Amino acid sequence: MAAPLLETRDLNMRFGGVHAVRNVNFTLDEGELRCLIGPNGAGKSTFFKMLTGQLQPSQGHVLFRGYDISNAHAHQIARMGIGIKTQVPNVFDGLSVRENIWLSASRIHSRERVNQVVDEMLERIGLTAAANRLVGQLAHGQRQWVELGIVLSTDPELILLDEPAAGMTHEEVNKTAELVREINRSKALIVVEHDMQFIRMIAKKVTVFNQGSVLVEDDVENILRNPLVRDIYLGKQAAAA
Ligand SMILES: Nc1ncnc2c1ncn2[C@@H]1O[C@H](COP(=O)(O)OP(=O)(O)OP(=O)(O)O)[C@@H](O)[C@H]1O
C-alpha cells in the first residue's frame, strides 16, 4: 500500500490548561480531499496550525511524505509543499489581482515563464476580467479567490483551506466548490468548513472533531446520518440556520 501523504501520530496541543488537540491520529492519502467539521473550539484551526508550522505540537508528530515536520518552521513546510489559505485573506489590498498572483508565482517560476503562469491562474480562479483591479476594491468572494490563486501559484502538493466559503453568497459558494473540485484533480486538500451545503458539494470523506479529538471519520453520507454527529454538531447547525 502507498505511504500516506500526511500523517499525524498522537498529536497534542496544550495552551496552559486548555487541551486543544488530543491524541489525534490522522492520515491523508495522495490526492485525497478531506473535510474537517466540528463545533466551535473543537481544535480544527489549532490542528491546521500544527500542520503548517505556525504552532509546534506539545506532543506527537506530523509526517509529510514520511518526513517528520513536527518541529519545522513555517517557511520550510511551505517549501516542502504544504500551502494554507487562512480565514482572513493574506493579500495586498493596494496591488492589483495580477500583481498579487505575480508576486507569489515569481517565487518559484522563472522570469520567462511567470507571466504565462499568472495568466493561467487568473483564468483558473475566474478573475481574468478583474486582473487589473485593486484587490482592496473586490467583493468578498473575489478576494478569497485571489488568495486561493496566491496559494496555488506556489504549486503545493497539499492545500489546507480554512473556511473557504465563510461569508460568501450562494453563487460564490457554488463557484468555490467548483474550484475546489477542480484543484482536487491534481492536488490533495484538507478543508475546514461550517457550511454544510458546501461540504455536501465537495466532500467524500469527512473527519469530525469534537473537544480536541477525532469523534468519527466516514463518508459524507454516513456522517450526515450519524446520530452522534447530529447531536453534537449538525443539529446545532440546523438550529442556527
Ligand atoms: N493561542 C491560544 N491560546 C489559548 N487557547 C487557545 C489558543 N488557540 C486556540 N485556543 C483554544 O483552543 C481550543 C480550540 O480552538 P480552535 O480555534 O482550534 O477551534 P476550532 O475548531 O478551529 O473553532 P472554530 O470553528 O470556532 O474556528 C479553544 O478552546 C480555543 O479557545
Q: pTM here?
A: 0.92
- Considering only CA atoms, which residue is closest to atom 25 of ligand 1? 40
As a whole number of angstroms, the distance between CA 163 and CA 72 comes to: 25
Lowest mean per-residue pLDDT among 60-64, 66-70, 235-239: 235-239
CATH number listed for the domain at residues 1-81+160-169+190-241? 3.40.50.300
As a whole number of angstroms, the distance between CA 238 and CA 234 comes to: 6
Which ligand 1 atom lies nearest to the CA of residue 42? 21
- Considering only CA atoms, which residue is closest to atom 29 of ligand 1? 41
pLDDT recorded at residue 2: 73
Nearest to 46 by CA among 20, 70, 28: 20
CA torsion, ordered 130, 136, 137, 141, to nearest 10 deg: 70
pLDDT higher than 90, residue 50: yes
As a whole number of angstroms, the distance between CA 152 and CA 235 comes to: 35
pLDDT recorded at residue 203: 85
- Considering only CA atoms, which residue is closest to atom 16 of ligand 1? 43
What is the spatial order of strands in the sheet that 213-219 belongs to? 82-85, 158-162, 188-192, 33-37, 205-210, 213-219
As a whole number of angstroms, the distance between CA 223 and CA 227 comes to: 9
Compute CA distances 227 → 41, 112, 204, 223, whole Å. Answer: 21, 56, 19, 9
Nearest to 218 by CA among 17, 48, 36, 29: 36
Return the best residue to mutate from 11, 36, 45 for the ligand 1 pocket (most ligand atoms within 8 A of CB).
45
Return the best residue to mutate from 18, 37, 196 for the ligand 1 pocket (most ligand atoms within 8 A of CB).
18
Binding-site residues, ligand 1, Cβ < 6 A: 15, 18, 20, 38, 40-46
pLDDT tier at 86 (50, 70, 90 boundaries)? confident
Domain(s) of CATH 3.40.50.300: residues in the chain: 1-81+160-169+190-241
- Considering only CA atoms, which residue is closest to atom 31 of ligand 1? 41
What average pLDDT does this structure show over 115-123?
96
Task: Provide CB contacts within 8 A for 88, sequence distance 6+.
Answer: none
User: What are the tens digits of pLDDT across the range 215-235?
Assistant: 999 999 999 999 999 988 877
- Sign of the alpha-carbon dihedral angle for 162, 166, 169, 170: positive
ipTM of the complex: 0.96
